[in-house]
Chain A
């Protein structure tokens, strides 16, 4: 004799309906939201990966914001130094003019006055601020770095020689400043010192050509130092495109982690729907099935 089957088929049938309904709901939710991972238990590993993903993406956004800040600062610094080079070039031609032996003393004095004007102008440029912070004071950004003694004309530097670096992307840092003394009082060619010397030479009429050479050296040195800012701007651009690309990659990765495979889910949905209809139809047939008693009457 075969094993007696459970005469009550309803629990199985109802469980079948419930299961197919559950599958249908899950699939339709995934279709509507486009996501398969809605809570950690849906896919613990993917959720843990999402933590890293969001962390990285948010870091990138901060780096991009930093890049924005630095870009503005570096551009102002670079164009300020470009103005300084222009002033020096002007001083150079004034010096060359003053070195001409045929020039009268009063003409030399007039040129000296022009050089003094340039000195004041360059000192002003050396004290440039960006968003309230001095650009060329080393790490001392709150005190005015350069001042010229009104009577002696001597230049003093109140800043320091410290440099800073800022991270542009993970593990990739950039020099964020060139100290003022390195730019304007460099021993290989001092911008402010040479202008000061040129002024003195023109006023006294001595060593004018030496002073002109000094200014020329200062231009060369400043152009060397300026390269730091130019390079930094290039590096920033490279980092910016890297970060933008990284954010795209991260968004893609997040999508891969969370998103539903629409083709798959649509198929699942159709299958669940079919199964549900079949289960309901089977149940209704079983419920209406005649039994032996119906035939005995």
Chain B
């Protein structure tokens, strides 16, 4: 059988439970703008009952737990999309600097000096004995050389800038993974102590999202509440409360390769600014550099050969205009003009003196611009393809980045739908909890008056 005291306790438990629920709502409102905060819910339940004979009495209400509302799948999707965006942004940022070297729309690039070089042979053809015209050929060759050298150097500089970004990203990754490992531990501890692991999980998700900006990770749930993080190829970054640092090592090209547990994973990294910068450093720039070298090598070789096929102003066989290059790699950087005497340009196609007006070989030199001397293409068409390539790569990345922004925004809205704090909802909850609290307080008053009645009854009996 229940007693008045038991009823008092029941009312009191209700007041405590409602107060806890009010606390939770208040905390939600307080964190409405906190980044990464997931709304929390106080889960009320009926307190354990007591059995007396055939009767079961309730003992009130209590808070079973406070849980954070979150959707782990959405978190993973957001991290994946963030990694994708991080990669695209890094690629675009570096790619724009690369394409600026070939911005033919504003006249920057190799086209003008390439055309001017061939034009100088056209001019030579019209007036092969003129010393100014001959000097113009050498000047045009020097200008072309300077342009090739400079473009090659600029590409190398952009490559080492990308390399620097890679190193910076690696140290950011290491700092974040060690923080995540620590928070993993906090989640475990909260669970063991029966606390809400939500706040620690919020923090962990925030950190993983930051990490995703630098590198794409795959997440797996360990049974103990910790998350295991690894790179795309499966190299562990965080396992439980332990993190594994990425390290760097200089490779043959002077760039930093990335190692995980002694294994070179440079080419296997996907997602994040790390992947974007590696893509620019190891693919985009080397491809352009190789094209530039191929163009420089084939052009100088063909021009030298054609000049050797003719005869100079003195009727002697022609020599090299450009410093002969032995191999394609480094050709653009090593390109140089070896000829200093304009009389040695072989405009003539006839051996021996007395042919200063012969322009046969000047015509042949000019015709090189229309011959398929670079990988089956004319020099200008080969160069034009290079310009298209870099422009197209940046443009594609920009299109993907714009699409990705939309996707990410949508995912974040979905996540907000689950985890976001709605002031109106919290206010309604508060009113509800307040009413229940007031009702319980009223019950206490009633029981109090019942107790007083009982005590008064006893007074009357004794007197």
Contact = CB atoms under 8 A, between A and B. Distances in A.
Interface of A: 3-8, 11-12, 15, 35, 37-45, 47-52, 54-55, 58-59, 61-63, 65-66, 69-70, 131-133, 137-143, 158-160, 162, 164-167, 170, 173, 176-177, 258, 291-293, 296
Contact of B414 (A6, A43, A62): A6
Given A39-B100, A40-B103, A55 B354 contact: no
A58 B115 contact: yes
Interface string B406-438: 000100111111101111110110110000000
A7 B31 CA distance: 13
A217 B353 CA distance: 34
B50 interface: no
The 9 closest A-B pairs by CB, nearest first: A40-B391, A6-B416, A44-B391, A141-B357, A7-B422, A41-B394, A292-B427, A48-B388, A62-B119
B125 A166 contact: yes
Given A6-B417, A7-B421, A167 B385 contact: no
A50 B359 CA distance: 31
A45 B396 CA distance: 13
Contacts of A69: 126-127
Interface stretch (B3-11, B105-113, B195-203, B227-235): B105-113
Contact of B355 (A4, A58, A70, A160): A160
B431 A54 contact: no
A177 B126 CA distance: 11
Given A41-B391, A132-B129, A167-B125, 11 more contacts: A5-B413, A12-B413, A39-B106, A40-B104, A44-B387, A50-B105, A58-B112, A61-B119, A140-B354, A291-B423, A292-B427
Nearest to A61: B119
Interface string B365-401: 0100010000000001101110111111011001000
A261 B53 CA distance: 91
A176 B383 CA distance: 33
- State the majority secondary structure of interface residues on B: helix
B360 interface: yes
A54 B359 CA distance: 26
A218 B451 CA distance: 152
Contacts of A5: 413, 416-417
Given A58-B116, A140-B356, A292-B428, A35 B105 contact: yes
B384 A48 contact: yes
10 contacts: A40-B395, A51-B383, A58-B115, A59-B118, A131-B127, A131-B130, A139-B359, A141-B357, A291-B427, A292-B427
Interface string B110-147: 01101110110011011111100000000000000000
A61 B390 CA distance: 29
B293 interface: no
B308 interface: no
* Interface size class, chain B: 35 or more
Contact of A65 (B123, B398, B427): B123
Contacts of B112: 54, 58
A164 B427 contact: no
Given A12-B409, A58-B112, A292-B423, A7 B416 contact: yes
A51 B111 contact: yes
B355 A63 contact: no
A229 B415 CA distance: 84
B355 A41 contact: no
Interface of B: 95-96, 99-100, 102-107, 109, 111-112, 114-116, 118-119, 122-123, 125-130, 348, 350, 354-360, 363, 366, 370, 380-381, 383-385, 387-392, 394-395, 398, 405, 409, 412-418, 420-425, 427-428, 430-431
Contact of B380 (A38, A51, A142): A51
A265 to B, nearest CB: 17
B350 to A, nearest CB: 7
Most chain-B Cβ atoms within 10 A of its Cβ — which of A137, A158, A164, A296? A164
Contacts of B125: 66, 166-167
Contacts of A8: 416, 420
A51 B395 contact: no
A288 B4 CA distance: 51
A140 B354 CA distance: 5
A164 B360 contact: yes
> Which of B354, B398, B415: most chain A Cβ within 10 A?
B354
A143 B352 CA distance: 14
B427 A296 contact: yes
A3 B418 CA distance: 9
A234 B191 CA distance: 97
Nearest to B434: A296
A161 to B, nearest CB: 11
Nearest to A15: B409
Nearest to A171: B370
Contacts of B119: 58-59, 61-62
A296 B392 CA distance: 58
Contacts of A142: 129, 354, 356-357
Contacts of B129: 132-133, 141-142
A165 B412 contact: no
Given A51-B384, A140-B356, A143-B354, A291 B424 contact: yes
A37 to B, nearest CB: 5
A33 B152 CA distance: 30
B127 to A, nearest CB: 6
A45 B103 CA distance: 13
Contacts of B430: 296
Contacts of A58: 112, 115-116, 119
Contact of A293 (B348, B389, B427): B427
Contact of A176 (B107, B126, B388): B126
B359 A164 contact: yes
Nearest to B424: A292
A44 B423 contact: no
A44 B115 contact: no
A25 B381 CA distance: 34
Contacts of B127: 69, 131, 133
A80 to B, nearest CB: 16
A140 B355 contact: yes
A40 B105 contact: yes
Nearest to B126: A66
B358 A44 contact: no
A35 B390 CA distance: 20
Contacts of A48: 384-385, 387-388, 391
Contact of A47 (B114, B355, B360, B387): B387
A59 B114 CA distance: 11
A62 B114 CA distance: 13
Given A6-B417, A62-B119, A139-B348, A164 B387 contact: no
B409 A52 contact: no
